[in-house]
Structures are given as C-alpha cells and as structure tokens.
C-alpha cells in the first residue's frame, strides 16, 4: 500500500518478523509494506493470529526475543531499523506513541496515574516538575476524564474500563506524537464506550494532525474511523485501498469473506457468511497462496504459486490471481 507522500509520514518496506521456536521457524510478519501519510488513519485488519499486532510492535522494534525483525521502517526520513537503541528511545513515546488493547494490564497497577503520565514527559521533554503536573492535568482534560485534578492521584484499578483507555491515550499523547500506533484500543470495551473512544481518536487526529495506524479485527471500527485499510492474512497484506473502495468492491476472496460476516442494517435478512476453516499455523504455511485451503476460488495455480501483492488500480492492491472474478461475483451478489 504505497502512496506518494510529501515528506514526513511512515514508510514500511518489506517488514519481516520471524520467531524461531522449538517446533520450527514462524514468519509472523512476512514482507509487509505500507505507508501512513501525515494526518491519515490507516486500518490494519485481520483475524486473530494474522500478525497485525506484531506488525505494529515490529515498527518500533518492540518485539521480544526470540523474535527477529528485519526490513525497512522509514519515519520522517530516518530508518528506525538501523537506529541505535538510544536514538530509538527518543522516537518511542515522543514521535511515535502506542496504545494497547487491554488498559487494565497495560497500565502499571501499583503506580498512580499521574506518575505514569509524567514519566513520559520526564523522558521526552525539558518540562520541570510544576509544568509536568500542569501538562498531566491538561492531558486528562483533553481525553475527557472528569474530575481530572483528583483522579490524577488515583490508581488504575480505581478507573472504569473506558476511563482506563482514556488514561492510556492521555499517556500516549503526552509528548504530542505525530503517529499513534493503536493496537485494538476498543476491543476490550463495550460498544457505547468504544464509540466514545473512536470519536476521541478522530477528534485528536483533527486537532493535532496526528496519523494513526489502527489495528483491529472489527470492520465496523474501520468503516467508522479509517481513511484507508490493509487486510492481513497469515502475516501478509492481501488487499489495500481506501475504506470506501474495499467495502464497495473487495477483490480478495478473504476480504470478501470478512465483509460477508458483518451484519448490515437495512439489508435483506440473510445468512451471515462465515469463512470455512481456520487460519493456518505460521510454522507450516500451505504452499502457494496461504488462503487457498479456505478459498472457493482456488485453482491449481493458487496451490503451487504464491500470488504477489500487485497494483490493479489507483491506490488499490491485491494478492490474488483471480481477483477480477472475485470482484465480479461481489458485484453480482
């Protein structure tokens, strides 16, 4: 998913993350390339285990041993993969911030919220104690936590799930990052809270011109927030495009399957489609296209040869030999 960008932004090329396990070598992220332009929200979509979270962590080299990350991650003209750990630390949390799926486990249970916000400021700004306190309060207000002054001295367990996620966003925003890596930030929340958090992220993008790379398995969330999207399957990107394009005309059978599993309001009542089978294990991926065992369109070629991710229209890419047929079917349906 490559678009021309006037400077800045995130450019990922051939990002690969492998884990050597006792059972063999697993390529969890397999040569991913994608761009996030300034102020853009890009959705990275896929089932559990498709490698989307690891992709996000790989971008800022937050993958633990025995994981090995390679490829190129260009951030504002600098290659994050080649950077020293000390330089990278100045990027993490300052220019590129990250929020996690589970605010309960991502916040340190034994430290007051104030400290968890302020330690980001201590690491990345020259603000003194007083100014840090002021900024922490301001951040709590930005993310919409009521009675912020009092709540700063409370601990994570004293907050509700939605408020905890707001705290995590406040921490991420502390040093005014240019890019937010969001790892399923709404999955653990109930729907009304989810909606509030998504609105907050959109609002922050508008106010601060922040880019967001949004990992989710929820297509409804993608439709509500993202400009462009990339669909991942078994560690690879299989389809990209603007959200409108992909939703209107999916070209990959897997995308088609994902969209078919979302109920639509107003549409005629019909059986929800589900994709037969389960995602493959990453240690022994099938030959050829990784999706072929679950694909209704699969031919001998799919079983022998891996389809490359190819551009077929402006801003549109797909990795499928039969994507024209798939798209035609979608239109007919």
Partner 1 sequence: MPLLGFIFRRVLQTIPTIAFILVVTFILVRLLPGDPASAMLGDRAIDADVQRINAKLGLDQPIPMQFLYFTKAVFTGDLGNSIGLKLPVIELIAHRLPVTLMLTGMAALIALLMAVPLSFVAALNRGGAPDTIIRGTFQIGLSMPVFYVGLVLLTVFAAKLRWFPVGGYGENFLDDLYHLFLPAMTLALSLSAVLMRNLRAAIIGVVGADYVDFARAKGLRARVIMTRHVLRNALISTVTLFGLSIGTLLGGAVITETVFAIPGAGRLMIEAIYGRDYPVIQGLTIALALLVSFTFLLTDIVQAWLDPRVAR
123 binds partner 1 (CB under 8 A): yes
Report CA 74 to chain centroid distance, whole Å.
17
* DSSP tag of 64: P
- The residues, any chain, with a CB within 8 Å of residue 39's CB and separated by 6 or more, are 205, 209, 210, 211
Report CA 47 to chain centroid distance, whole Å.
12
Measured from the CB atom, the residue of 158 and 299 that comes closer to partner 1 is 158
Measured from the CB atom, the residue of 85 and 331 that comes closer to partner 1 is 85
* DSSP tag of 215: E
20 binds partner 1 (CB under 8 A): no
State the Cα–Cα distance between residues 84 and 182, nearest whole angstrom: 24
102 binds partner 1 (CB under 8 A): yes
Residue 282 contacts residue 28 (beta carbons within 8 Å): yes
73 binds partner 1 (CB under 8 A): no
7 binds partner 1 (CB under 8 A): no
State the Cα–Cα distance between residues 333 and 330, nearest whole angstrom: 5
Specify which residues 216 forms β-bridges with. 45
> Out of 120, 186, 194, 216, which residue is the one contacting partner 1 (CB under 8 A)?
120
Span near partner 1 by CB under 8 A; candidates 25-33, 95-103, 212-220, 316-324: 95-103
State the Cα–Cα distance between residues 290 and 139, nearest whole angstrom: 44
> Out of 36, 69, 168, 326, which residue is the one contacting partner 1 (CB under 8 A)?
168
Residue 109 Cβ vs partner 1, minimum distance, rounded to whole Å = 6
Measured from the CB atom, the residue of 112 and 161 that comes closer to partner 1 is 112
75 binds partner 1 (CB under 8 A): no
> Out of 47, 119, 218, 249, which residue is the one contacting partner 1 (CB under 8 A)?
119
> Out of 5, 62, 137, 224, which residue is the one contacting partner 1 (CB under 8 A)?
62
Cα distances from 180 to residues 39, 168, 285, 293, in angstroms, run: 10, 12, 31, 35
Residue 96 Cβ vs partner 1, minimum distance, rounded to whole Å = 9
Is-cis flag, bond preceding 66, omega within 30? yes
- Dmax of the chain from CA atoms? 68
90 binds partner 1 (CB under 8 A): yes
Measured from the CB atom, the residue of 110 and 265 that comes closer to partner 1 is 110
State the Cα–Cα distance between residues 205 and 35, nearest whole angstrom: 17
Instruction: Give the footprint of partner 1 on residues 124-163 (CB under 8 A).
Output: 124, 155, 157
The residue ranges that bind partner 1 (CB under 8 A) are: 57, 60, 62, 64, 89-94, 97-98, 100, 102, 105-112, 119-120, 123-124, 155, 157, 168, 171
């Amino acid at each position: 998913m490559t678009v021309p960008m006037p400077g800045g932004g995130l450019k990922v090329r051939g990002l690969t993350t492998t884990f050597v396990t006792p059972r063999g070598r697993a390529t969890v992220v397999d040569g991913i390339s994608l761009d996030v332009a300034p102020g853009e929200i890009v959705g990275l979509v896929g089932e559990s285990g498709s490698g989307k979270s690891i992709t996000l962590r790989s971008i800022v080299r937050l993958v633990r041993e025995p994981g090995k990350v390679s490829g190129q991650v260009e951030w504002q003209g600098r290659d994050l993969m080649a950077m020293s750990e000390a330089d990278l630390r100045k990027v993490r949390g300052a220019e590129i911030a990250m929020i996690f799926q589970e605010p309960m486990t991502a916040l340190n249970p034994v430290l007051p919220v104030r400290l968890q916000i302020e330690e980001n400021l201590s690491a990345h700004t020259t603000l003194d104690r007083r100014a840090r306190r002021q900024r922490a309060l301001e951040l709590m207000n930005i993310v919409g936590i009521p009675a912020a002054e009092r709540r700063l001295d409370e601990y994570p367990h004293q907050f509700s799930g939605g408020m905890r996620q707001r705290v995590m966003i406040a921490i991420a925003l502390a040093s005014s990052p240019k890019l937010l890596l969001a790892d399923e930030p709404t999955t653990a929340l109930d729907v009304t809270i989810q909606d509030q958090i998504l609105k907050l992220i959109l609002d922050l993008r508008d106010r601060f011109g922040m880019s967001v790379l949004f990992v989710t398995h929820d297509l409804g969330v993608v439709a509500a927030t993202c400009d462009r999207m990339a669909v991942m399957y078994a560690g690879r990107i299989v389809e990209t495009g603007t959200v409108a394009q992909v939703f209107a005309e999916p070209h990959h059978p897997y995308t088609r399957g994902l969209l078919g599993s979302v109920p639509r309001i107003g549409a005629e009542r019909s059986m929800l489609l589900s994709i037969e089978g389960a995602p493959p294990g990453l240690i022994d991926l099938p030959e050829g296209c990784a999706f072929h065992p679950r694909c209704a369109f699969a031919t001998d070629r799919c079983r022998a040869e891996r389809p490359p991710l190819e551009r077929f229209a402006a801003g549109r890419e797909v990795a499928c030999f039969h994507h024209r047929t798939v798209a035609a079917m979608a239109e007919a349906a």
